[in-house]
Amino acid sequence: MYLSTNKQKYNIIVAKSFHKRLLGLMGKKNIDYGMLFPKCNSIHTFFMKENIDIVGLDENNEVIYKYENLPKNQIIKINNPNKKTSILELPKSASTKIKIGTILIFNED
């Protein structure tokens, strides 16, 4: 699946398995894709090689949280009382045009 933003198309990997959820984007360089963590309200950036953008989504893929250029060694927790939060990790500066309240549309290939 993919997401188009900032006039660019990003492949999105859905982290469904324990292994993918555990590793995420840790240790990756030259990140040019995103990772979606369904049913997740917190992430960390320990062992990251690059800064990333974080977008928190509710159950309708509406943006409820955004952090641009998140540095390594950080912990982010999104407090959503609905508890159906997902987190999208994107390359640095990929979310500059994404605003709180926007509904993201993920397209299939």
Give the CATH number for residue 15.
2.60.120.1140
- Residue 30 belongs to domain spanning: 2-91
Query: Does residue 108 form part of some domain?
Result: no
Residue 100 lies in a domain: no
- The CA-atom distances, in angstroms, between 86 and each of 3, 16, 30, 70 are 15, 12, 24, 17
Residue type at position 8: Q
Task: Note the pLDDT tens digit of each residue in 11-61.
Answer: 999 999 999 998 899 999 999 999 999 999 999 999 999 999 999 999 999
Q: Say if 66 falls within a structural domain.
A: yes
Indicate whether 107 belongs to any domain. Answer: no
pLDDT at 84 over 90: no
| Residue 105 within a domain | no
Look at residue 104 and tell me if it is in a domain: no
- Count other C-beta atoms under 10 Å from residue 45's C-beta: 20
Domain count, the chain: 1
The answer to whether position 97 is within a domain reads no
pLDDT for 37 equals: 96
State how far Cα 58 lies from the chain centre. Answer: 12
pLDDT digits (tens, 9 = 90+) for 54-82: 999 999 999 999 999 999 999 999 887 77
Report yes or no on 49 lying in a domain: yes
pTM: 0.91
